[in-house]
Structures are given as structure tokens and as C-alpha cells.
Amino acid sequence: MRIVVSAGPTREFVDPVRFLSNRSSGKMGYAVAQAAVEAGHETVLVSGPVSIPAPRGLAAFVPVVSARDMLAALRKAVKGADALVMAAAVADFRPARACRRKIHKGEMPGAIALKPNPDILAALSRGKGRRVFVGFAAETERAEAGAAAKLRRKKLDLIVANDVTRPGAGFEVDTNIATFVRPDGSTETLPLMSKAELARKIVAQVEALAGV
């Protein structure tokens, strides 16, 4: 299969030296890309800025910065692909205006006006066809409840939901505690495991959903 994986945060610039972003380390998405390579799939990794090395054996590595860059890169990457695993932590908002020069201390605005970024999964799922789409739902409470609504709205085949406030789950750590949420409403809660192990389970789900 040709599998596209997105990973990492996006950066949304306020001026050339400042940006809005989030805590994503890229570890979960990179683990999925690595598991896909190891399972013999042609794997494309589209990644926001992270400080970890890309897995070896990728068919392509596409670095991006902003959510809009990521949307453009993924539009191209999913064209010939069988599946998209969207593990990136896309910034939901960007500054309404990015200043072209550094804003000096004395002229700091009291507030930064924001506007919403495109929802990448929702945008891509319009032309989804028979491709398998997997999303993530990182919540700070009742992860499964939010995940079911997300799954319908973004027309996903599977959501990997996790409560990022639980010890051993979420950002920066090497382990995760996830629940698979499916379109029929069924859920499967997995125990604490390494992101590498969870990644292998996600790739196995993608294979099963694609009928491989």
C-alpha cells in the first residue's frame, strides 16, 4: 500500500521570529511512519517542525511549516495513496495578519487577532473515495465522546482517541493510552503501551480497513 502519514505541530507566524504552535513532539506520527515502512508499505511522511530524525526507508519526506503548507502538501501526497494517517497536531488558529518585520517591544499589540485554519481532514475527506482515513483526537477530558462526533464530521474510518492529561499518554512521552473509535460507534480501549507498539496496531487497522 501507499500510506501517507502526517506528524508534528504546525507553526503559525506572528512576525518573522514569533509563532503560535503546540506541544506535539511528532513521536506518534513518526512511529506510525516507521511501522508502515517496517510492514513493507510505500510511506510518505509529511511533517511539521520537530527535533527527531525521520525514519529510514521512507518513499518521501515532506517538511512543512504552517497548516496551509500541510494542506497543500497532503493534497498532493494523498493523490496516489491508499491511506492517510493524520497524526499531526494542526494549529487550529493562525494570526489574522503576519507582520513582515519583527514587532518591537514598544509596539506590542495588546491582543493578537486570530482566524481559523482549514480543517485538513475535513477538506481532504471530500475527495476521499475508497481511501482509508485515520484521525487522532487528543482531548483533556472524555476523549471518546469527542472522538465519535469528529469521526462523523471528518468522514473517518477510525479515530485514535487519547486523554493527553493521563500519565503515560499524549505529548512528548514514548508511551500512549489510546482508544480506537469506529464509525459503527464501537470502541476498543488499549492498555498503556509504547508509541511504537500502538503504531503497529494502527498500521494493522489500516491494512484491515483497506482489505489487505
Q: What amino acid positions are annotated as catalytic residues?
A: 22
Contact between residue 145 and residue 137 where contact means Cβ atoms under 8 Å apart? no
Residue carrying C-alpha cell 506590542:
108
User: What is the 8-class DSSP label of residue 170?
Assistant: S
- 199 near ligand C5P (CB under 6 A): no
Max Cα separation, the chain? 60
Q: How far is Cα 5 from Cα 173, in angstroms, rounded to an integer? A: 19
- With respect to ligand C5P, which residue has the nearer C-beta, 37 or 147? 147
Kindly state the smallest distance separating residue 150's Cβ from ligand C5P, in Å: 5
Q: Given the complex with ligand C5P, which of 40 and 176 has the nearer CB atom?
A: 176
Please state the closest distance from residue 104 (CB atom) to ligand C5P, in A. 31
> From CA 112, how far away is CA 190, in angstroms rounded?
40
* Nearest approach, Cβ of residue 119 and ligand C5P (Å): 4
Residue 27 makes contact with ligand C5P by CB under 6 A: no
Rank residues 137 and 202 by Cβ distance to ligand C5P and give the closer one: 137
Return d(Cα 6, Cα 30) in angstroms, integer: 8
H/E stretch holding 21 reads none
User: Is the Cβ of residue 37 or residue 137 nearer to ligand C5P in the bound state?
Assistant: 137
Residues numbered 119-148 forming contacts with ligand C5P, rule: CB under 6 A:
119-121, 135-137
The DSSP symbol for 105 reads: G
For 20, the enclosing helix (H) or strand (E) is strand 18-20
Site string for ligand C5P, 66-105 (x = CB under 6 A): -x------------------x-x-x-x-------------
Q: Phi, psi at residue 175, to the nearest 5°?
A: -120, 170
Report the residue number, 103 or 114, with the smaller CB distance to ligand C5P. Answer: 114
Q: Which stretch binds ligand C5P (CB under 6 A): 98-106, 115-123, 172-180, 203-211?
A: 115-123
Q: How far apart are CA 34 and CA 135, in angstroms?
A: 17
Q: Of 53-61, 95-103, 116-124, 197-205, which segment contacts ligand C5P by CB under 6 A? A: 116-124
Please list every residue from 50 through 69 that binds ligand C5P, using CB under 6 A.
67
Question: What's the number of CA atoms in the CB half-sphere (13 Å) around residue 35?
Answer: 22
Interface residue list for ligand C5P (CB under 6 A): 67, 86, 88, 90, 92, 117, 119-121, 135-137, 150
